[in-house]
Homo-oligomer: A and B are copies of this chain.
Amino acid sequence: MRALVLFSGGLDSTVLATQMKQEATETRLLSIDYGQRHAKELDHSQKVANHLGLAHEILKLPQLGQILGGSSLTDQSMTLPEGHYAEESMKSTVVPNRNMILLALAGGHALSLGLDTIAYAAHAGDHTIYPDCRPEFADAMDKALGLADWKDLNLHRPYVEMTKSDLVSLGDQLNAPLHLTWSCYAGGEIHCGKCGTCVERKEAFELANIADPTKYEE
């Protein structure tokens, strides 16, 4: 397996990058700036990549926000919801067709580098609000990626039936640099502790019964 990991610098894709580094013949990381509210995630992606010693590229496409309207993750004028990740209000954080766009870009890059696999870290906890994290979406994308070129290209998605606390346990076991990862949607100095991803992150460490290395504002 010669893999390109779709890599945000968050907890999930950091566990995946760590696992791929140990299991794949070749592992490279690709981060994509699609006009997120803050660059915090991308800063952290570089720290994790350096820690793991993996080749890492960042593709900057801030204009994407121009056509992907209506998400509080890309639109600075919208209010970010607080509370639990699975709540109705969190739907405003959906960026329309985000994962297909990211996987398509990763596919193009993987093909131009001669790699045979794209790895992405969608997990079961994401399904509630993000339709493009569902296993059936990943299956369809695997099929489409396999037909997009004369060469085969596979979508590796080993976490699609796992919970986030499973990923914390796995990351701990693999010695993944979880302390360097960033989850918070708010983009302050440290994790806010209140937004959906912060709440989900805290909960995942608690459920996994592993000490949370994250500093939260509250």
A residues neighboring B (CB under 8 Å): 30, 57, 59-61, 63-64, 66-70, 95-101, 103-105, 107-109, 111-112, 131-132, 134, 136-137, 140-141, 143-150
Counting every copy of the chain, the complex holds 2
> When the two chains form their complex, are residues B97 and A149 in contact, meaning their CB atoms are under 8 A apart?
yes
When chains A and B are docked, how far (Å) is the Cα of A65 from the Cα of B96? 23
Complex Cα distance, B145 from A57, in Å, reads 27
18 residue pairs bridging A and B, Cβ less than 8 Å apart:
A57-B67, A59-B66, A64-B108, A67-B112, A68-B108, A97-B108, A98-B108, A100-B107, A100-B145, A100-B148, A101-B104, A101-B105, A101-B107, A104-B104, A132-B147, A136-B147, A140-B140, A144-B144
Residues of B within 8 A of A109 (CB): 67-68, 96
Minimum Cβ distance to chain B for residue A107 (Å): 4
